[in-house]
Amino acid sequence: MKALIVCTSVSHGNTKRVAEVIGEVLDARIVEPDQVDPAELAGYDLIGFGSGIFNMNFHPRLREFIRTLPAGPRGKAFVFCTSGFPDPPILHYRRNLADRLEQQGFEVIGGFSCRGFDTWLPLRLVGGVKKGHPNAEDLAQARAFAEALRVQLPAN
């Protein structure tokens, strides 16, 4: 199996740490959206898309990268994110991105999220929320998620 992770992690490295754990299990290359040619995606069996949550959505660079992909049949994908707060009941971050990926032709086979240290402007005044996250338990859950993905796909 050949895997790639397209990840935007800009504030505290929360999402990058999760991507690294998932990437280790999947033996995946980890890139920023501007580091990969969209045509290159066809060469992968599984592609992960992840970022921290910014203003109640995935990072704009990741969303723009996905939006500009030409539609057509694609392979399998998964989504992941970190956030200072859980998904609000009416906004399902991972589901919204998964829906967009499916519109672009991907088959989304899973999603993962965990809490991450967040110092978005008003939270900075009180020192942020979820300090110390993702922690060892969060990263163990990310590893278990990746292992479950790996068994769903044929080995090369």
- Is residue 86's pLDDT more than 80? no
User: What is the average pLDDT score of the chain?
Assistant: 85
- Fold of the CATH domain 3-152: Rossmann fold (3.40.50)
138-152: per-residue pLDDT in tens?
A: 899 999 999 999 988
* 104 burial level (CB within 10 Å; 0-12, 13-18, 19+): middle
Instruction: Measure the CA–CA gap between 127 and 111, rounded to whole angstroms.
Output: 29
Q: Compute the average pLDDT of residues 65-87.
A: 85
pLDDT class of 129 with cuts at 50, 70, 90? very low
**pTM recorded for the entire structure:** 0.86
pLDDT class of 71 with cuts at 50, 70, 90? confident
Domain spans, the chain: 3-152
- Is residue 119's pLDDT more than 60? no
- Closest residue by Cα to residue 18 from 118, 8, 43, 131: 8
